[in-house]
Structure formats: structure tokens, C-alpha cells
Structure 1
Amino acid sequence: MSAKVVIVGGGVIGSSIAYFLRATDPTMGVTVIERDPSYARSSSALSAASIRQQFSTPLSIQMSLYGIEFLRDIGERLAVDGHKPSIDLHEGGYLFLATPSGEATLRENHALQTRLGADIALLAPDVLKQKFPWLNVDDIAAGAYGVSGEGWFDGYGLVQALRKKAQALGARYVAADVNGVELDGRKVTHVLASNGERYACDTLVNAAGAWARRVAEMMGIDIPVYARRRSIFNVSSPARLANSPLLIDPTGVYFRPEGTTYITGTSPGEANDPNDLPLDEVDHTLFDEVIWPTLAHRVPGFEALRVEHCWSGYYEYNVFDHNAIIGYHPAIENCVFANGYSGHGLQQGPATGRGVSELIIGGKYASLDLSSLSWDRVLENRPIVEKNVV
């Protein structure tokens, strides 16, 4: 083995990095330490699993453009022994709605997205009503609709496909927690696992998702990433919404089809969004007081709704600016961070895996420059402002 890389976290970010490392350099030793190989509490498996290009920053758009390219070709890319995985990718599009107060921002974002190659249509209220006759557009000034390249998929299936392909390429997965690290000056030399083993490493990757903060603290680093609970509700309704996209209401409430039912949710207000809430609880008050009234207003047919199932998952939430932190920290010269995706990890996982593998193997980004997501902006207090936070 030419080098040893230890990745903490085997979700979509960690497994994507493992896959790209071994696919690029088969001589590299790659060990992934994953505390929960069932992924029962993994953000990757518990999310609403969607992809969009409708961001307001160029890099996020470009990362997701690569993401959809990767997902479309997943059967060929991640085939193992002739078996081609499927993630049931459905390009049903996002539909961002704007009231008059948000129309200028929507148009500005649309101009940037289309300039970078995203297939987004800007629709007037009458066109929206014609295309989606079940939609209430009385208070809507415009909508931005992903004609192609946006939609939803099987998040758990993506994680499993990446993991199995990485293993087939020679990456080793260890079912354990990380209890600590050994340091020699500004370098991590070993990772200490709960199975009693010490794993030597030339490079450590922190891809621990909602638990990234704990791993960073082992190296004396304060990362502004916290576990923020998000509740998701699967609802049924007698309403049948033809050609329903993943709709983002101006309030932030979203819904999308899931077979004959719908998945819906929203982020709570900052005052009601503490860190590390238990995952085995669901915010039913948020549904009753915010989500359901909003859905009934936007889609009159949703006045009759029934919650069939609900669950909670964690956002690995970057409280600094809601964008990922990717790259080395100046205090530790051989640790790469890939944390804080704030709900965008599944769609930005392929671009992250490719970029981090380039950084580790070649010392720089070769395909898409992710350097604007580095620690520099955090340490220098230069937040990236993303206007389309969901």
C-alpha cells in the first residue's frame, strides 16, 4: 500500500471518498470506520433524498450538476460483479415559488443557474396554473421549475451502492466507533477505535456527519457543525396531483410525491432548533401548526391529509453559513474535513468524493475547484451566503 487513509464515517460522503480514492489509486490503503453499519441513524438514509441545481452560489450549482451526472450513470459506475445498482432516480424537478417580495431573488438565481448550464424554467403564475392546475398561485409572482436534472431517489440505496463498490475496489470497512486519535505534533498518526484496534494513517478524513464535532474535538479543533433534527412526514390525501414536482413553498415548507403518498417537512425557526435533539422523537407540533396549514393553502386538495408515517433525521448543520467545510485545517496538516452539508450531503457527495480524492492524491483539485469551501472562510469570518436554504 502506497499510503494509508482512514475515513471516519461511512455514509454517502465517506463512502464516496473511499470509492474515488480506490478507483483513482488502487495501491492506496483505505479504511472506513463506521459506527452504525446498518445506517439506521444515518443522515444519508433518513433524509428526503433529493437533488437540485437551484442554489444561489456557483459552486453549489456546479457540485449538483456533477451529482446528477453521477446519479444518472450509477448503474455503470458502481456495478459490482455484473450487478448494476438502481436508486430509482426520478427527475420530477423542483418548483421554487416566490411571492412578489421574493421575485427579484428568484430571477437573479435563475439567471445564474441557467448560465451555468442548469435546465431551469422561469414560469409566470398563469403558466404555473396551466401546468399544475391543483396549485394555488393567488399570492405567487413566479416559480422556478427544474425541467430536468432535479428530483429524488433512494438515499439508502445510494449509500449501499457506494459502500459495496468501494469494498469491491479494496476499501476496508470496520464496524466501530472512534474513541480518540494519537498526535505527533501537527499530524495524526493513529486512530483509536472502540474495537480496541489502532489504525495507522497518513491521512485522516473526518466524514462523521452529524457527529463531526466530536471527531474534530479529538484534535483540538472547534468546528461549527451541530446535529439539528429534521422531522419528515409521509402523508396520504384523496387529492391526486398530476406531474407533481418537489415543491418549495415561500414559507420553506416542502413536499414531494412518494408513490401514491407524499413526503413533507420544513425547518423549524431558529429559536426552536436546538442542537442534538433525540432522533426517536418527531416534532408533531411543527406539522400541526406550520406544515399542514401551509400545504392546505398552497394545494386546496391537501385540506384532507393523514399522516401515515413519520421519522426524524439529523442535518449536519453548519451554523456558520449552512455550506460544507471541505479541506485541511491549518492546525492539523494531515486531516481532511468534509462536514457541515446542512441537508445537501447526498447530492454533493459525488463531487465531494471526487474532489477530496484529488486533494489527497495530488495535493490539489483537478476537476472542480472546491477551495472556496475551505476552512479559510470560517477562520477569516467570510461566510458564503446561500439564498436558497431549505
Structure 2
Amino acid sequence: MLLKRLPSTPLTYTFRRTFHKNSVLAFRKDDREFEHPLTRTVRILMNDLKTGFTQISKGQIPHPVVGFPQFTDVLIVGGGAIGSSIAYWLKEKSNPDSFHVAVIEQDPTYAKCATTLSVGGLRQQFSLPENINLSLFGAEFIRSLKKRFGPEADISFTPHGYLVLASEEGAEQLIENSKLQNELGAINVILPKHNIKDRFPWLNVDDVEVGCLGLEKEGWFDPWSLLQLLKTGAEKKNAQYIHGEVVEFLFQERDDIIIKGREEGSFLQHPIAAVIKMPDGEIKTINFAICIIAAGPQSGQIAQKLDIGVGEGLLSVPLPVEPRKRYVYVVECEKDPPGLNTPMTIDHTGAYFRRDGLGGKFICGISPEIGDEPDVSNLDVNYEYFDKRLWPILAQRVPAFNALKVKGAWSGFYDFNKFDENGIVGPHPLFTNVYIATGFSGHGT
């Protein structure tokens, strides 16, 4: 990518640089003074008033920001569940008018959004404390939706839990994971195979050793409704959503920072602005103090526009996130379907299923085997994949599923972290004003 160099200007960032105590990557060349935060705030607000980008009324609910801003304190790339959640919480934890937050979203209909095409699961059955704690927070957030967003707030949460099945080979790991989950505040129980059969007589447990059943704080919900609550909540607190596509970033040479290992006279190119392509093709530029990459499956592509993964040194390390397509099938079991208390069941083969409503409909899926990933250039569904790969597993696990009928299907994308399939959250090690929140790889809330 061609870097556009802009002339050096006085530093105006209100956030001071911090360095990891064990990994000092850079240091200040001189002791230039930052622009005083109050002075900077007044300057920005005066500019907004002159250009008509904001409306401020004392003692009233903040008015929505209108027009395209020249500057934003925080630029969030991606307006799905992660990006909208970040926008909401930034505003929730501060005075809504104290700083400006802009969210760039390429598709405001969210027709191809990873959030809206997901199955909307909530579970704490993970092996890493970070994922468990994130999900526990998500459970508490869902519990308090009406208090936070009003009595009409509803995401159709179904609290039937998760049932994760393990073969003899995976039983010990499942038991250890359950101990950790309960220590951190989750509520689940390990069931031997005969207890699983007692609770769920429609299951075939011949090749199952144990199962872990979530008793509280687990289930599934409507992801579209949750996204709309977060987005609307952020907008009410004066976060601005902009329909556009980030096509490029602009950089400024920072001669006040010396990078260890670089030759003398070579300075850091620091990102300071994003170039946005509007729906009508017009190109606009928005300057920022902080940029957050929360673009889901497209996060790796956005990072490359910042030279991450295609540059030198630290910039040679890519953001290991790419889109992976997953199929979700809607099926109907007309005779003797699993009961209304059926949990989201995850087989030790990776196949899953859960109820879809109160009738005999279920949704189900399974991740492809290594080397068999489907094409991500479209959202087409492969029905043959259901017949050959998924149906035999479902029919073996639930005998009633021998007579399944496929009623529909859709596909969506995971923001798949190729490194370890876990979320990447935090600052970039070189660009200290760039933060990353992506790569959750379909883990759910």
C-alpha cells in the first residue's frame, strides 16, 4: 500500500504513550508538550458548531450528530455486535458529549453481517478464563436488558443451556473445563452417560462418556434484536454511524518517536486518518485520535490497509483473521422430536443442533473438516453437504432425526482467527492509537 505522508504538526493526542514493562519498543526523542485537553476540546467543539456537524443543548438528551465529521476522537471500523458494543460502552461510561465516536459500517442493512447470520449462542463452556469471563459478563448484560434499554427491550432469550458431549477420549478435558468454569461463576454439571439418558431419553449415548450441561446463564437469542439494541443505544448516546467503506488510511511521519532496530533517519509512519468511500462513490477523509478495528471477518483486510502484515518489522506480522463460511440448516422432525427442554447440543464430532421455536423445527450445523473450507466469495448454501456430512451424525445421535426434512438454510461468516481461534482484543504493538477487537471464531457471546 502506498503510504501518504502528511507534514508534521503539533501533537494533539490526549492519550499518553504507554509501554509494556518487558518490551520497550520505542521512546520519545524530545519532550514536546501536548495540546491541553481542555483547549483541544473547545477547539473541536467550536469547529463542529461552525460547520453544523453537532447540536448541543444544555440539560437535554444529546442530539444525534449529523453530517460527515472532519475529526473523531474514536473511529470504529465495523458496526456489528462488537463495534456497536464498543460504541455503546464508550458512551455509557462517560459523558455522551465529552468526546466523539464514529462507527463506519459498509452495510447498514446488515444483510451479510456475521452477527445477524449467527445462531446467537450464549455459553460459558470454554477452556480459557478470558472466554468464560466474557460470557459471564454477556449473561449479566442480557439479564439487565430491560433495565438498561427499557421495558420493551427483548431479544427472545431461550435459557435452555448447552449440552456438550464428550467421548472417552475427551472426557477428562471436559471435566477439567467444567471445574474451571464453575470456579469462575458459571453453573454447570458433569453428567455420566446414564444420567444423560435419564434426562434426555431421545439421545443415543452409546459412544458418549460424559456430558456437561449448563444449568444457568446459557441458551440462545435473536442476534438481530441484540444488535439493534446496541446500535440504537449507542446512537442515543450520540455515537455517529456512517454508511461507508474504509478504502485507505493516511499516515503522518512521527519524528518524535525512534523505533528500535530501524536505521537512523527512518521514522514511524503513524495512522491519523481514514479515507472513506461513500455510497455514491464520493471520497471523504476523517481524522482520528484512536482507531478500533472491529470489522469481523473483514478485519484482516482492514489491517492490511494499515500496512499490518505487509510492512517491515512488527508490521510484517499480520492480523490472523479471515472469513470462514459456515452453513446453518433448518430441519423438521415430524415424529417424536426431542422435547421442549432440549438444550443446544454439541456432539463430540463438532455437530450441533437446537430447537427453533415450539414445533418440530431445529437448526443445526457442523464446521468443515480441515482442507475442506467452502468458498467465501458468496453466501450460497451447499445442501449436499448436509446429506453427506451432517445428517448421518445427527441420525446416529438422535434416532428420531433419521426422518429429518430440510426446510431451509443460510450461510454466514466467522471472523476466524487462524492462530488459535480465540478473540484478539487490545492495542497494536506498534501503532499505539490502533486497537483490535475481532477473531472470536464463532465462540458466541
TM-score, normalisation: structure 2 = 0.75
The equivalences for 1:371-386 within 5 A come to: none
CA displacement at 1:18 relative to structure 2:
0.2
Q: Tell me the equivalent position of 1:5.
A: 74
Q: Tell me the equivalent position of 1:362.
A: none
CA displacement at 1:198 relative to structure 2:
1.1
Contact persistence 2:117–2:411 (CA under 8 A): yes
Contact persistence 1:92–1:151 (CA under 8 A): yes
Give yes or no for the alignment of 1:30 onto 2:101.
yes
Letter in 1 for 2:84: S
- Residue 69 (structure 1) aligned to one of 136, 140, 148: 140
| Secondary structure at the counterpart of residue 101 of structure 1 | coil
Separation of aligned partners in 1, 2:377 and 2:347: 27
CA displacement at 1:84 relative to structure 2:
3.1
From the two aligned structures, give the one with the greater helix fraction. Answer: 1
Give yes or no for the alignment of 1:211 onto 2:337.
no
Separation of aligned partners in 2, 1:86 and 1:199: 35
Higher RCO structure (Cα 8 Å, ≥6 apart) = 1
Give yes or no for the alignment of 1:172 onto 2:270.
no
Give yes or no for the alignment of 1:244 onto 2:342.
yes
Give yes or no for the alignment of 1:147 onto 2:245.
no
Separation of aligned partners in 1, 2:378 and 2:211: 34
Contact persistence 1:279–1:314 (CA under 8 A): no
Separation of aligned partners in 2, 1:334 and 1:56: 31
Separation of aligned partners in 1, 2:211 and 2:401: 20
CA displacement at 1:68 relative to structure 2:
0.5
CA displacement at 1:129 relative to structure 2:
0.9
The equivalences for 1:1-390 within 5 A come to: 2=41, 4-25=73-94, 26=96, 27-79=98-150, 84-185=152-253, 186-195=269-278, 196-221=283-308, 222-238=318-334, 239-242=336-339, 243-259=341-357, 260=359, 261-273=361-373, 277-344=376-443, 346-347=444-445
| Secondary structure at the counterpart of residue 96 of structure 1 | strand
Q: Deviations over 1:198-246 (max 9, x none)?
A: 1111000101111111110111102111100000001001132111000
Aligned residues, how many?
Answer: 342
Separation of aligned partners in 2, 1:115 and 1:189: 44
Q: Tell me the equivalent position of 1:371.
A: none
Runs of 5+ in structure 2 lacking a partner? 1-39, 42-71, 254-268, 309-317
Structure 1 residues 246-255 or 265-274, which shifts more? 265-274
CA displacement at 1:48 relative to structure 2:
0.7
Q: Deviations over 1:169-218 (max 9, x none)?
A: 00000111111111113432111111222111100010111111111011
Letter in 1 for 2:288: C
Letter in 1 for 2:88: Y
Contact persistence 1:95–1:246 (CA under 8 A): yes
Letter in 2 for 1:255: F
Q: Deviations over 1:249-280 (max 9, x none)?
A: 11000001111211100100111016x62332
Separation of aligned partners in 2, 1:39 and 1:72: 25
Letter in 2 for 1:241: P
CA displacement at 1:161 relative to structure 2:
0.6
Letter in 2 for 1:44: T
Q: Deviations over 1:130-166 (max 9, x none)?
A: 1101111111111100011111000011111100000
Separation of aligned partners in 1, 2:229 and 2:408: 26
Contact persistence 1:268–1:286 (CA under 8 A): no
Regions of 4+ moved over 4 Å: none
Contact persistence 1:72–1:89 (CA under 8 A): no
Letter in 2 for 1:336: Y
Of the two, which has the highest radius of gyration? 2
CA displacement at 1:323 relative to structure 2:
0.5
Contact persistence 2:379–2:412 (CA under 8 A): no
TM-align CA RMSD: 1.3
Separation of aligned partners in 1, 2:149 and 2:377: 34
Structure 1 residues 2-11 or 213-222, which shifts more? 2-11
Structure 1 residues 47-56 or 286-295, which shifts more? 286-295
Letter in 1 for 2:350: G
| Secondary structure at the counterpart of residue 197 of structure 1 | strand
Separation of aligned partners in 1, 2:433 and 2:292: 9
Q: Deviations over 1:12-61 (max 9, x none)?
A: 00000000111112212000010000000000000011010000111111
Separation of aligned partners in 2, 1:47 and 1:177: 23
Letter in 2 for 1:105: Q
Separation of aligned partners in 2, 1:280 and 1:138: 36
Contact persistence 2:166–2:348 (CA under 8 A): yes
CA displacement at 1:286 relative to structure 2:
2.4
Separation of aligned partners in 2, 1:65 and 1:14: 19
CA displacement at 1:77 relative to structure 2:
1.7
| Secondary structure at the counterpart of residue 381 of structure 2 | coil
Separation of aligned partners in 1, 2:440 and 2:239: 24
Aligned-pair identity (%): 40
CA displacement at 1:335 relative to structure 2:
0.6
